[in-house]
C-alpha cells in the first residue's frame, strides 16, 4: 500500500511540473516558425576547426564528469551505510559528549569530511580540466580556499538543520516529515533571500555596475523601462569573475529586497554594449515573467510530498537493512545518512523533469529578452545570434551535444538552438505578433 502511495504522489508531482512546463511552452506563430528554422535551417552557431575539436573533446569530458558526479553522490551514502562507517560515526559522536549539540556537530563534521574527501579527486579533475582548456585561471591555493569556505558554510548550516531534524523526530516520530518539511520551506525562502548577502560574497567580489560602467547602466535602464519593471541601478551588480574564470555569464538572484541582476566582468570585457543589453534583457525576463517566484513556489510545494515519500523509504530501509547497517531507529544519528541516500536517489530520478522545466523557463526568457531590446538595439536577431556565438566560443560549447544527455542534464536549451532561434525570431514582421510586448 505504501508503494502505491509513493507512486501516486510521484505521478502527481511530475504532472505538476509538466503542467507548468506546458504553460510556459505555449508558442506564438512567430515563435514556432523561429524554432523550426533553428532545427532545420543552416547552423547559426559554428566553431572554427581548432575550437570545434576542443569543444567536442571538452564536451565528452564534461559529460563524463556530470555522470560520474551524479552516480557518486548516492554511492557515497550507500558506501557509508554498507561499510558501517555511518553507524560508527554516530557511536563515536555519542562517546565524545553527553551534549546532543556536541554529538550532532561531531557527527555532521565526520560525515561531511568523509564525503568531501571521497569527492575530492573528482573535484580536482574538474578543476584541472578547466585549467587545461583555459576556462579557469584560479590557482590551486584559491581553489582549495573556496572548497574550505564551502565546507564551513555547509557544516554550519547542516549542523543546525540536523539538530532541528532530530528534535522534530523526537517530538513527533510519526509526523516529523510534515513539521520538518514546513521548516524546510521557511529555510528555503530565507536562503533565496539571503544568498546575495551571505553566501555569494564568500566566493566572489561584487560592486555596483554603475561604478565601473555608467554608460552601460544607462542603456540597461532603457531596457528596464521598456519592460515596465523596477530594477534601479543599485540592484545591478558587476561580479569580478575574471579573478577565477575566463567564461562569461549573467544571472538573477535574490528575492524581494535582495533581488538583483549580476553581470560577470568577463561578459562586459568580451561583449559589445548591445550584446550586454541582450543578455541583461534575458535575465530581466526571469523577473518579469515570474520565474523566480515560480521556481521557489514549486520547490516549496514539493517539500511536504517529497519528505513524506522520503519517510516511507527511510522506514522501509530501516526495516530491511537497518540491522545490517547497525542502525536501529530513525532517532539515531546515522539515520540521517539513510535520509540523504533517499533524497539523492529522488534527485537523480527527478532531474529530467526539473531540467525540462528549467529549459522551458530559459527559452521563455530568451523570447522575452529579444522582444525587450526591440527598438533599443538596431538588429536584435543578429545581436542575439552573436551573443550565443561569443558565449559558445568563450566556454567551448559543443555545437553537437548528445541529445539524451541534454534531455537529462541540460538546464538550458542547447546553444545551437538558442542561436538559430535568435537569428530567426522576428515577431515584428508584418502579420506576426510579439508574445510579451504589444506591437
Give tens-digit pLDDT for 168-223: 999 999 999 999 999 999 999 999 899 999 999 999 999 999 998 898 999 899 99
Helix extents (H) in 41-172:
49-82, 85-96, 100-132, 140-171
* pLDDT at residue 259, rounded to an integer: 87
Which cell goes with 429? 514582421
pLDDT at 302 over 80: yes
Range in 58-62, 194-198, 435-439 the model is least confident about: 435-439
For residue 310, tell me if it sits in a domain. yes
For residue 143, tell me if it sits in a domain: yes
Residue 66 domain-assigned (yes or no): yes
Question: Residue 250: in which H helix or E strand, if any?
Answer: strand 250-253
Is the pLDDT at 314 greater than 90, yes or no? yes
Domain span at residue 93?
Answer: 28-207+283-424
pLDDT per residue as tens digits for the range 225-255: 888 888 888 989 999 999 999 999 988 888 8
Residue 4, domain member (yes or no) = no
Residue 407 counted as domain residue: yes
What was the pLDDT predicted at 324?
A: 95
Strand partners, 136: 245
Q: For residue 43, tell me if it sits in a domain.
A: yes
Whole-angstrom distance, CA of residue 50 vs CA of residue 156: 46
CA distance 399 to 403: 11
Residues 238 and 251: beta-carbon distance below 8 Å: no
Q: How many domains does the chain have?
A: 1
Return the DSSP state at 21: H
C-alpha–C-alpha distance, residues 353 and 351, integer Å: 5
Residue 73 is assigned to a structural domain of this protein = yes
Say what the pLDDT of residue 264 is: 95
Q: Which residue has cell 530581466?
A: 284
pLDDT tens string 371-393: 999 989 989 999 999 999 999 99
Secondary structure element (H or E) that encloses residue 13, with its range: helix 2-24
Domain annotation covers residue 371? yes
Amino acid at each position: 500500500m505504501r508503494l502505491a502511495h509513493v507512486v501516486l504522489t510521484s505521478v502527481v508531482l511530475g504532472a505538476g511540473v509538466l503542467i507548468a512546463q506546458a504553460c510556459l511552452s505555449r508558442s506564438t506563430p512567430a515563435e514556432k516558425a523561429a524554432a523550426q528554422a533553428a532545427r532545420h535551417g543552416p547552423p547559426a552557431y559554428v566553431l572554427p576547426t581548432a575550437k570545434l575539436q576542443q569543444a567536442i573533446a571538452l564536451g565528452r569530458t564534461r559529460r563524463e564528469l556530470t555522470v560520474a558526479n551524479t552516480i557518486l553522490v548516492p554511492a557515497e551514502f550507500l558506501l557509508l551505510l554498507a561499510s558501517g562507517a555511518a553507524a560508527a560515526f554516530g557511536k563515536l559522536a555519542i562517546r565524545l559528549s553527553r551534549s546532543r549539540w556536541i554529538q550532532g556537530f561531531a557527527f555532521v563534521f565526520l560525515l561531511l569530511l568523509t564525503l568531501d574527501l571521497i569527492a575530492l579527486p573528482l573535484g580536482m579533475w574538474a578543476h584541472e580540466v578547466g585549467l587545461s582548456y583555459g576556462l579557469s585561471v584560479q590557482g590551486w591555493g584559491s581553489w582549495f580556499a573556496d572548497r574550505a569556505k564551502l565546507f564551513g558554510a555547509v557544516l554550519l548550516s547542516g549542523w543546525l538543520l540536523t539538530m532541528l531534524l532530530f528534535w522534530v523526530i523526537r517530538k513527533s516520530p510519526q509526523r516529523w516529515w510534515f513539521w520538518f518539511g514546513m521548516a524546510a520551506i521557511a529555510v528555503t525562502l530565507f536562503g533565496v533571500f539571503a544568498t546575495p548577502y551571505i553566501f555569494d560574497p564568500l566566493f566572489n567580489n561584487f560592486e555596483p555596475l554603475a561604478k565601473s560602467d555608467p554608460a552601460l547602466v544607462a542603456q540597461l535602464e532603457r531596457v528596464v523601462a521598456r519592460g515596465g519593471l523596477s530594477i534601479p541601478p543599485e540592484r545591478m551588480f558587476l561580479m569580478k569573475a575574471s579573478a577565477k574564470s575566463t567564461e562569461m555569464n549573467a544571472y538573477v538572484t535574490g528575492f524581494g529586497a535582495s533581488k538583483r541582476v549580476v553581470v560577470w566582468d568577463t561578459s562586459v570585457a568580451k561583449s559589445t554594449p548591445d550584446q550586454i543589453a541582450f543578455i541583461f534583457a534575458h535575465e530581466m525576463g526571469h523577473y518579469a515573467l515570474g520565474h523566480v517566484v515560480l521556481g521557489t513556489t514549486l520547490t516549496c510545494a514539493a517539500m511536504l510530498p517529497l519528505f513524506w515519500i522520503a519517510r516511507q523509504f527511510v522506514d522501509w530501509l530501516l526495516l530491511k537493512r537497518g540491522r545490517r547497517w547497525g542502525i536501529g531507529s530513525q532517532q539515531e544519528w546515522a539515520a540521517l545518512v539513510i535520509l540523504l541516500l533517499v533524497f539523492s536517489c529522488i534527485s537523480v530520478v527527478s532531474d529530467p523533469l526539473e531540467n525540462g522545466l528549467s529549459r522551458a523557463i530559459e527559452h521563455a526568457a530568451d523570447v522575452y529578452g529579444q522582444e525587450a531590446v526591440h527598438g533599443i538595439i538596431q538588429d536584435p536577431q543578429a545581436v542575439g545570434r552573436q551573443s550565443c556565438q561569443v558565449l559558445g566560443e568563450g566556454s567551448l560549447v559543443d555545437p553537437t551535444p548528445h541529445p539524451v544527455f541534454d534531455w537529462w542534464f541540460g538546464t538550458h536549451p542547447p546553444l545551437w538552438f538558442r542561436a538559430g532561434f535568435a537569428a530567426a525570431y522576428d515577431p515584428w514582421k508584418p502579420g506576426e505578433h510579439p508574445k510579451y510586448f504589444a506591437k
